[in-house]
Amino acid sequence: MSYLEKIQELYGMLGQGQMMEAFEKFYHEDVVMTELGEEPTVSKAANRERELKFLSFVKEMHGGGVISVTSNEETKTTAVENWMDATYQDGNRVNMVQVAIQQWEGDFIIKETFYHK
């Protein structure tokens, strides 16, 4: 399976509300995830906790999807531009567009960086 196919499957799972299932399937035990301007979160266990914390803030998802996706099979890199429309527990509704860059090691994402405003 190509890296393009892998990232398309991952985001397909996200679109079906399977965020944690996708996380478990596609992320390396030593993954490093970084939100622009923040310190990296290192390890699958620490990132699992971070993802669950994010989900606890979401009251309702109104939509989300992929705008564009690309892959460089030689460098094992994928990039996804995606959007999300959600209401948080505090009542704030957020429409966000972000770009996520993934570096793969075998079948797993070893490094991911998120760029958004």
Q: Does domain 3-116 have CATH number 3.90.220.20?
A: no
Q: What is the pLDDT along the chain (117 residues), one digit of tens a residue?
A: 999 999 999 999 999 999 999 999 999 999 999 998 899 999 999 999 999 999 999 999 999 999 999 999 999 999 999 999 999 999 999 999 999 999 999 999 999 999 997
Give CA separation, 55 vs 4, 24, 25, 58, 91, in Å.
26, 15, 18, 5, 14
Give the start-to-end residue ranges of the domains of the chain.
3-116
Longest pairwise C-alpha distance within the chain = 44
Q: What is the pLDDT of residue 30?
A: 98
